[in-house]
């Protein structure tokens, strides 16, 4: 049955593609953001600071997909930016809860973005699962507090799903665009040791995971939203170069150089973690892209 889906943070990489795929499946989609926008879906406005929201946004929805949050890699991590990264997630989530407590809605499900940053920096060969302990670094703290706010929706009898998203590969931007640009220019190189694991996922597989979480009421709790086969930074860089038919001449970029350029944010690219997607597979979810090279060929529109 078609559902009415309200998406926060819908103008971003994930939200825009998810909107397309939900509409293709016959669902009804609306967006909730800081300003009213013209587009393929009706748009509602909220102001988290002023605690204002168009009540029609929640009154008309069957489920909410919560993607709102300041970009992790968009700006240098100053004290103010770190505060914004945390509060844009926790405050928006708590305000959603307050809004649902206020209105006589019929929302049954909240599907919230989370991140594999939950596990912290953990360079190891063993796979991390949803049962693994959370990390202690800044991104782990942000993600843990974010999820704690999401968990409060269960007090309203709402089913929650937390998708801990890995590195999203999309031709429209994000990590892949950043990694591919230096390769295209002939200055591509692995970062730091190059041996840190990147737990990646194709944008369409991620969006299908959101759709399954919306449609399948047996899905609940936390799931790692990553692909089947994590690769190292070195393997990712080499695969991009191979698909684009570009050489890799340069040695790896040293960690200290990255720290000078990026500051504390460098930790997000110098280290990685190896994440398991087994739990979501047990629900019956099937990945379309299990192999990195096939995913890259699809995104770069290369004939297979």
Range of weakest confidence among 69-78, 91-100, 233-242, 286-295: 69-78
pLDDT digits (tens, 9 = 90+) for 6-29: 999 999 999 999 999 999 999 999
Query: Residue 195 is encoded by which pair of tokens?
Result: 């041996």
pLDDT digits (tens, 9 = 90+) for 139-171: 999 999 999 999 999 999 999 999 999 999 999
pLDDT digits (tens, 9 = 90+) for 195-222: 889 999 999 999 999 999 999 999 999 9
Fold classification of 4-299 (topology level)? Rossmann fold (3.40.50)
User: What pLDDT does residue 134 have?
Assistant: 93
Going by pLDDT thresholds of 50, 70 and 90, the confidence category of residue 256 is confident
Q: What is the mean pLDDT of residues 225-242?
A: 94
pLDDT digits (tens, 9 = 90+) for 270-281: 778 899 999 999
Q: What is the mean pLDDT of residues 248-277?
A: 78
Q: Where are the domains of the chain?
A: 4-299
Check whether 236 has a pLDDT greater than 70: yes
Which residues contact residue 284 at a Cβ distance below 8 angstroms, ignoring those fewer than 6 apart?
216
Beta bridge partners of 46: 53
- 260 burial (CB, 10 Å; 0-12 / 13-18 / 19+) is exposed
Q: What is the model's pTM?
A: 0.94
Going by pLDDT thresholds of 50, 70 and 90, the confidence category of residue 123 is low
For residues 131 and 92, what is the distance between their CA atoms, to the nearest angstrom? 26
Check whether 132 has a pLDDT greater than 80: yes
C-alpha distances in Å from residue 226, one per residue of 83, 106, 128: 27, 31, 11
By C-alpha distance, which of 103, 106, 117, 108 is closest to 147? Answer: 117
């Amino acid at each position: 049955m078609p559902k009415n889906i309200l998406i926060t943070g819908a103008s971003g990489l994930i939200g825009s593609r998810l909107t397309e795929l939900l509409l293709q499946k016959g669902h009804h989609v609306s967006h909730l953001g800081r300003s009213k926008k013209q587009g393929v879906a009706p748009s509602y406005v909220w102001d988290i600071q002023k605690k204002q929201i168009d009540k029609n946004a929640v009154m008309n929805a069957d489920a909410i997909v919560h993607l709102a949050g300041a970009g992790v890699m968009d700006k240098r991590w100053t004290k103010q930016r770190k505060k914004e990264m945390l509060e844009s997630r926790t405050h928006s989530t708590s305000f959603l809860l307050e809004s649902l407590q206020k209105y006589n809605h019929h929302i049954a499900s909240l599907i919230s973005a989370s991140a594999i940053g939950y596990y912290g920096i953990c360079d190891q060969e063993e796979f991390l699962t949803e049962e693994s302990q959370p990390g202690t670094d800044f991104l782990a703290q942000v993600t843990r507090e974010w999820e704690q706010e999401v968990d409060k929706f269960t007090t309203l009898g709402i089913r929650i799903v937390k998708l801990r998203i890995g590195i999203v590969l999309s031709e429209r931007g994000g990590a892949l665009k950043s990694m591919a640009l230096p390769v295209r220019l002939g200055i591509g190189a692995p970062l730091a040791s190059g041996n840190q694991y990147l737990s990646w996922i194709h944008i369409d597989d991620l969006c299908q995971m959101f759709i399954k979480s919306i449609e399948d009421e047996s899905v609940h709790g936390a799931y790692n939203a990553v692909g089947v086969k994590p690769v190292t930074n070195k393997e990712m860089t080499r695969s991009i170069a191979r698909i684009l038919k570009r050489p890799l001449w340069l040695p790896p970029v040293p960690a200290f150089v990255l720290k000078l350029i990026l500051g504390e944010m460098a930790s997000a690219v110098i280290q990685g973690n190896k994440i398991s997607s087994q739990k979501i597979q047990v629900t019956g979810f099937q990945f379309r892209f299990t192999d990195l090279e096939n995913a890259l060929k699809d995104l770069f529109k290369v004939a297979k």
